[in-house]
Amino acid sequence: MYVAVKGGEAAIANAHRLLADRRRGDRNLPSITIDQVVEQLGLAVDRVMAEASLYDRALAALAVRQARGDMIEAIFILRAYRTTLPRFGYSEPVDTANMKVERRVSATYKDLPGGQLLGPTFDYTHRLLDPSLISDETVEEPAAKEPGEHVMRVSDILDGEGLIEGDGQMPEGHVMGDLTREPMEFPMARDLRLQALARGDEGFLLALAYSTQRGYGRTHPFVGEIRIGEVEVELDLPELGFAVSLGTIRVTECQMVNQFKGSAKQPPQFTRGYGLVFGQSERKAMSMSLVDRALRTDEFSEDIVAPAQDQEFVISHADNVQATGFVEHLKLPHYVDFQAELDLVRRMRRDYEAMNSGETPKERQEAAE
Amino acid sequence: MDAKLKQESPPDPARKKAMGLLARATFDELNAAWETLADKPEVHPVRGPETGLVMVRGRIGGGGDPFNLGEATVSRATIRLSTGEIGHGQMLGTDRQRARLAAIFDALSQCAGNKADVASLLRRVAERIAQEERRKAEETAATRVDFFTMVRGDD
């Protein structure tokens, strides 16, 4: 018999009070400010913005602090916040060719217009723990040099020979989709897949990207270019009849270039995968571009033989807010479900034991009567 | 009436540029300019200030067809001066007071008597942005790799 139960209110209230205490930690230490999180844990903030699919550094920092540094919890909080706001409109597409570049590297060309700009990278560090960060030593000002020429897009250089496919075009008459407005449907067009990948979990996309490199849907990739920097966001104002700038956001873009042997429909060439992510996050942008290319099986008549090529598998499981919701709901009370299953297993066990001892199961006997 | 006609005028490059600068002005810059304004007009709210979302778009491959990248917070305000000019302010972030001040200066930019005040604010903002961008570009340029070739073999 099911008896409705109620209770736990006081326990929940006290648990949240305890959470607030543990979040604050030792009161003898100064409390961290949102500005400090934005400035000194900037890449955590960027990851939360990217996967919450909401660009706002201060709110993302607040979420990180509120979640005690639990990234997926922070992403969840920021996602929930965005549902409380009205949508003003859609921006003009950002122009990454005119990015104020803070880092740009290419693995395909050594000498290229704009050069290899390393920017603030972890690459080439020795990954040794740095004790100077314990004692809070004074940090040197960065070096400065006269800026060089415009940082040209690598895809524009390759394009000259006609050996590389162009920037992606959707089929004629395609209406751009928006995941936040329509339910997911498969097969899913590339524009929607990119939206899903841009907000997808970094760890999940990294693992899938890695799987393609290890042979599960190989794509023969080269990093044509990675660039990080600020781009302008423009919004069309109908009341004025023109688009105005709302300010700038930092994004990371990855152009993956993939060798392609050709198919019945297409000559041998370089194909491409694209990654674009809020904030500074080149691991995510690279993973996104590898997975984007792997998912384009229908365009290149490739067989779907690996998980990274299966769009329903990839897109349905890339969102960590959905994933954590479904996994974590298992810890909520399932007392009644479990009671029912317990009864069932007890019955099956009785049958099993009866069968093994050669007796006719009781139920069957009863049914026969 | 005059102000209304101005609203319907075709794209105005100077105003577009000014609104872009106002969107990047800090609260302190806007507020200081407002505080030092000799003869402050009366300001009536028309819409907002309010915070909402704009879906930011990217392009496939950087230059192809557009796709939805993700949203950004945006605050906006529309105000009317007692002299009739309507101003719009809109910018990334959740600072509604900044959006309201930006709207006021957008309206003031349409008043002949205030053009100089607005121009001086815009100059300050543009100079700060240029300086920040210059510094960042120089710091980035210092991390540019200068390749040199190692000579191998007998010669």
- What pLDDT does residue A293 have? 96
For residue A229, the number of C-alpha atoms closer than 13 Å in the C-beta half-sphere is: 25
Residue B6 lies in a domain: no
pLDDT at B150 over 80: no
pLDDT in tens, B44-103: 999 989 999 999 999 999 999 999 999 999 999 999 999 999 999 999 999 999 999 999
pLDDT-derived band at A273, boundaries 50, 70, 90: very high
Among candidate residues A86, A95, A346, the one with its CA nearest the CA of residue B66: A95
CA gap A160, A270 in Å, rounded: 13
Residue B4 lies in a domain: no
The larger pLDDT score, comparing residue B1 to residue A209, is at A209
CA gap A179, B67 in Å, rounded: 10
Among candidate residues A223, A219, A294, the one with its CA nearest the CA of residue A260: A219
Residue with tokens 């409380």: A84
- What pLDDT does residue A247 have? 97
Query: How many structural domains is chain B composed of?
Result: 1
Domain containing residue B60: 13-137
List of chain B residues whose C-beta atoms are within 8 Å of the C-beta of residue A87: 52-55, 71
Q: Are A63 and A34 in contact (CB under 8 A)?
A: no
pLDDT in tens, B95-140: 999 999 999 999 999 988 888 899 999 999 999 999 999 999 999 9
CA gap B3, B112 in Å, rounded: 12
Residue B149 lies in a domain: no
Residue B154 lies in a domain: no
pLDDT-derived band at A325, boundaries 50, 70, 90: very high
Pick B140's closest partner by Cβ from A55, A119, A178.
Answer: A119
Residue B97 lies in a domain: yes
For residue A60, the number of C-alpha atoms closer than 13 Å in the C-beta half-sphere is: 28
Residue B151 lies in a domain: no
Minimal C-alpha gap between B150 and chain A (Å)? 15
Residue B1 lies in a domain: no
φ, ψ for residue A19, nearest 5 deg:
-60, -45
pLDDT in tens, A72-88: 999 999 999 999 999 99
Best to test chain B binding among A245, A277, A289 (most B CBs inside 10 Å): A245
Contact with chain B for residue A3, Cβ under 8 A: no
Helix (H) or strand (E) holding A235: strand A221-237
- What pLDDT does residue A163 have? 85
Among candidate residues A1, A63, A55, A75, the one with its CA nearest the CA of residue A37: A63
**Per the CB < 8 Å rule, is A248 touching B16?**
no
Residue B69 lies in a domain: yes
For residue A127, the number of C-alpha atoms closer than 13 Å in the C-beta half-sphere is: 2
Q: How far is CA A334 from the centre of its chain?
A: 31
pLDDT in tens, A182-234: 999 999 999 999 999 999 999 999 999 999 999 999 889 999 999 999 999 99
The larger pLDDT score, comparing residue A361 to residue A341, is at A341
Contact with chain B for residue A115, Cβ under 8 A: yes
CA gap B112, B118 in Å, rounded: 10
- CA distances for B79 relative to A69, B14, B48, B126, angstroms: 40, 20, 8, 24
